[in-house]
Structure 1
Amino acid sequence: MRRRAVTSSAIASVGYEESTAELEIEFVSGEVYRYFAVPRSVHTDLLSAPSIGRYFQRHIRDRYPTRQQ
């Protein structure tokens, strides 16, 4: 999955695969997590949020099944 760099103190890059509804997040620590069954609107809102890290914590973390890559 291709990720694009984002401006965030916590998140380095974000990728999304629409056909499988998978969101991939690379943290500045280098850890990469994949989140499953994530609606496209969540990905869009994440990228347009004033704070990507805060949006992640409030709307993605602990809300979707995940696996560390």
Structure 2
Amino acid sequence: MKRQPIRSTSLKAVGYDPATLTLELEHRSGRITRYANVSEATYQGLLAAPNKALFVQQVLG
């Protein structure tokens, strides 16, 4: 999955596969986190969120 860089203090990049509804987060530490069954709307919400780490914590938990 191709990831795109994002502006965040704790996240480095994010990728999304609409075919499998998989969201992939690359943390600045190098750790990768994958979330299953993530809607396109949630992915777009993450990209638009001013605080991406807080969005992940509150929405994807």
**Distance apart, 1:33 and its partner CA:** 1.1
Q: Tell me how large the CA RMSD over aligned residues is.
A: 0.6
Moved over 4 A (4+): none
Report percent identity of matched pairs: 33
- Are 2:19 and 1:22 equivalent residues in the alignment? no
Report the residue type matching 1:51 in the other structure.
Answer: N
Shift of 1:53: 0.8
Q: Residues 13-62 of structure 1: CA distance to partner in whole angstroms, max 9, x if unpaired? A: 0000000000000001100011100111000000000111110110012x
Task: Structure 1: state its 5+ residue gaps.
Answer: 62-69
Structure (1/2) with the larger helix percentage: 2
Normalising by structure 1, report the TM-score. Answer: 0.85
How many residues align? The count is 61
- Structure 2: how far apart are the matches of 1:10 and 1:59? 16
